Chain A
Amino acid sequence: MKKWIPVLSGVTAGFLAATVFFADFNVGTKTAAVDPAVKSNAEKVYVPFGEKDEYYLFASGGHSGQMFIYGVPSMRHIRTVPVFSHDSATGYGWDEHTKELMGGYTWGDLHHPAFSETNGDYDGKWMFATDVGNSRAAVMGLDSFTVRDIIEVPNTSGPHCAAFVTDNTEYIFLPTRFAVPLGSEYASLDEYSEKYRGVMSAVSFDEQTEKLNVAWQVALPPWSYDLSDAGKGISKDWAVLTTYNTEEATTNLEINASQADRDYIVLFNWKELEKMVADGQFDEVNGQKIIFPEKHKGSIYLIPVAKSPHGVDVTPDGKRFIASGKLAPAMTIFSFEKAFAAIENKEFAGERNGIPVLNYESVMEREVNPENALGPLHTQFDDKGMAYTTMFISSEVVKWDPNTGETLDRVAVQYSPGHSVAAEGDTVSPDGKYLIALNKIAKDSYLSVGPSHPESMQLIDISGKMEVIQSAPVNPEPHYAQMIKADKINTFTVYPKDENRPNSVWKQEDTRIERIGDEVHVYGIAMRSKFIFDAKSERPDVIEVNEGDNVVLHLTNIDLDQDITHGFAINMYNLNIEVQPGQTNTLRFKADKAGTYPLYCTNFCSALHQEMTGYLLVKPKK
């Protein structure tokens, strides 16, 4: 009986060994043959040399004051565009034009980039952004990725809740994060409720003159305004913004602004507000037309929402908007149609600070509470109208159906996503395909650079089951981003040769140095590989002035050839500008240090770039 045991175990062992060594384990995988159409994650993000990315990603640079441009899906960083901060890489902030744009400030806190729109869709012409740090708005031209105008917005402080652009870029709205007295004048915090205001500014943009202008303002109550979105379709004359600290607390907001169970969504009709301004229903304060909602009623309404909300996002069809408390587990879907009906029927729950409050129940359509999802912040949409909400506390992106509230999918991100951006995800026709989570914490994700970790952006493929397919470190601070189809943007590569451009010089023999009193005007050229400031001089690449002179240098890059950028820096004078091919740039400075200062081309331009130098000679005062 027992004899067969060793025999059997021997046979079994032999069979096992034979199986291990000789069996073809590929049989199993062969039956589940790899579908050649299914790309690996590496293939999905790989853009071979010679090909270009499908989308541009414009990511706000927060307190870097800059805008970061990435290609998607490769997530390659293409360019940093300086907007509110000096940038020596591009000479931004030193030449006369950009110095004037910066208005004496050396930094800004760039938030919420927003594309210009035509019929609710990105038109690829302009990009707007705001500076929470110094209350400014900027516009970038997408033909050259350069800032064209920056304005300071009076009566307001910290336009964080911005910029959001209306359907046809009629206005860029800038609601403000901090309430201040109008004109930022002094007022005791004891008078907060009476004297402070959270002003929202309607800024218009003139495409011809490339100028921004504060058209009018609304003196909203002294609350903090957080995020906003313009309506679309049936709601295109309307917009929504979230507000917190409706408690009107003046200290320790962490506690004191988290007391009330509900804060508000501000719902307003900008077409009606525009009409009110036209009809003279405004007060003029510090040169601005300001509507006081308690005096001039109509057009602005409040809707209760779970406390301390962050995002409020309008669905692509313009019929609903979605908001949630930052600390609440659930999101609320509101209906524009219901809100319009309630307004029509004057179905108000009362007033707050002179503004009618709508009933939560009469505007709300549905509450959505994905299991264990915590801290819903911001929602984007795909081509099928499905919603994707970032969950800050539970570190994930949840996909759900706004029609039913059903949770469809979820994916973990690393870690704590604030905003997210889907391809054209806040337009009337989102592209689907990609979503990027902009994460606030990136510990242990990349090679360490010490205590300050890079923040991260994670690319999520949303075409099927959501999957993180790429991760890119980013400089502080990716706050919000916009993703546009690459073929919507048309850039130029060389500035057109404009012989009538003021201060430009196009021929070597026309270069000259002119003195008017103690002002020295230099009309020079930069070309491969020399500077010519005065062709008739014995040394054409030398500028000689007297100590104390004001020097105005007009430099034209006469190389009309793609990629031939010249720089111009003066040793120890803390100056550096750039001149693009065909561009004329002006630098103004006081020659207040006597001595000999080499000047040179900073932007590697040619084989003889190293020889592209000259001297600034500053003769000492006798």
Chain B
Amino acid sequence: MNKKLSLSSSLLVSIASVLLFASLFFPWWGMQFIAPQYPEGLDIIVYPNKLEGQIEIINGLNHYIGMKEFSEKNFPELNYLPYIIGGLALLVLGAGWWRRWKGLAATALLYAVGGVLGVYDIHRWLKDFGTNLDPKAPIKIDPFIPPIYGENQIANFITHSYFSTGSFLLGASFLLILWVLWKERKRC
């Protein structure tokens, strides 16, 4: 029962590792704000290591509702997230080469826990930004939690939250591992 994963499975796991590593270079998550004055939309685009988009403009507008400023230094995760993901990618690669089902399963579990934590982290920030509003802000709105995925209305803005290329690569990579685990469940 302690046979090794097949060579093709090992190769698939390696691909999963590459996908995970590649996701570092793509945006993972984003939010677009659309208002009558901004038909072209304002963007916050989140990479594992940086923020992009019209952050300063969004901050300028958010001060009216008393929201804290988005900035890279407010998100310490952006400093170490690339290492975690890079490390995980190496772990997956290692599991692929080691070719032990249990090892791969353990990695997948770690992977899943990391993913859940990541989603929870985004949620935690959204909650923090949306509920800790300055009570003296000129525009009073009820505290709110923007959704991690989907549409929401804040004042004159409609927001669209979405997952992007990086998360898709991550998802594909995870599914690939699950597929290998499933395929090899009998053999090993």
Per-position binary interface string of chain B over residues 38-58, scored 1 when its CB falls under 8 Å from any chain A CB and 0 otherwise:
000000000000000010110
Residues of A in contact with B, size category: under 10
Hey, which chain A residues are within 8 Å of B57, CB to CB? 559-561
Hey, which chain B residues are within 8 Å of A558, CB to CB? 56, 60
Query: Contacting B60 at CB < 8 Å: which of A497, A561, A607, A608?
Result: A561
Q: Which residue of B lies closest to A560 (CB)?
A: B56
* Interface pair B138/A608, CB less than 8 Å apart: yes
Q: Which residue of A lies closest to B156 (CB)?
A: A607
Which residues A533-559 have CB closer than 8 A to chain B? 558-559
Q: How far is the CA of A607 from the CA of B56 in the complex (A)?
A: 18
What 3 A-B pairs have minimum CB-CB distances, sorted nearest first? A561-B57, A560-B56, A559-B60
Hey, which chain B residues are within 8 Å of A497, CB to CB? 56
Q: Which residue of B lies closest to A582 (CB)?
A: B56
Task: Report if A368 contacts B (CB, 8 A).
Answer: no
Hey, which chain B residues are within 8 Å of A528, CB to CB? 60-61, 63-64
Task: Report if A527 contacts B (CB, 8 A).
Answer: yes
Q: How far is the CA of A560 from the CA of B57 in the complex (A)?
A: 6
Hey, which chain A residues are within 8 Å of B64, CB to CB? 528, 607-608
Q: Which residue of B lies closest to A581 (CB)?
A: B57
A-B contact count (CB 8 A): 20
Q: How far is the CA of A497 from the CA of B54 in the complex (A)?
A: 13
User: Count of B residues near A, CB < 8 Å?
Assistant: 8
Query: Contacting A527 at CB < 8 Å: which of B54, B60, B138?
Result: B60
Which residues B11-68 have CB closer than 8 A to chain A? 54, 56-57, 60-61, 63-64
B68 CB → nearest A CB, Å: 13
Hey, which chain B residues are within 8 Å of A559, CB to CB? 57, 60
User: Can you list 20 A-B pairs, Cβ within 8 angstroms, ordered by A?
Assistant: A497-B56, A527-B60, A528-B60, A528-B61, A528-B63, A528-B64, A558-B56, A558-B60, A559-B57, A559-B60, A560-B56, A560-B57, A560-B60, A561-B54, A561-B56, A561-B57, A561-B60, A607-B64, A608-B64, A608-B138
Which residues A156-179 have CB closer than 8 A to chain B? none
Q: How far is the CA of A560 from the CA of B54 in the complex (A)?
A: 9
A584 CB → nearest B CB, Å: 16
Hey, which chain B residues are within 8 Å of A607, CB to CB? 64
Q: How far is the CA of A559 from the CA of B61 in the complex (A)?
A: 10
Per-position binary interface string of chain B over residues 64-91, scored 1 when its CB falls under 8 Å from any chain A CB and 0 otherwise:
1000000000000000000000000000
Beyond the given A527-B60, A559-B57, could you list 15 further A-B residue pairs with CB under 8 A, ordered by the A residue number? A497-B56, A528-B61, A528-B64, A558-B56, A559-B60, A560-B56, A560-B57, A560-B60, A561-B54, A561-B56, A561-B57, A561-B60, A607-B64, A608-B64, A608-B138
Which residues B132-177 have CB closer than 8 A to chain A? 138
A230 CB → nearest B CB, Å: 43
A566 CB → nearest B CB, Å: 12
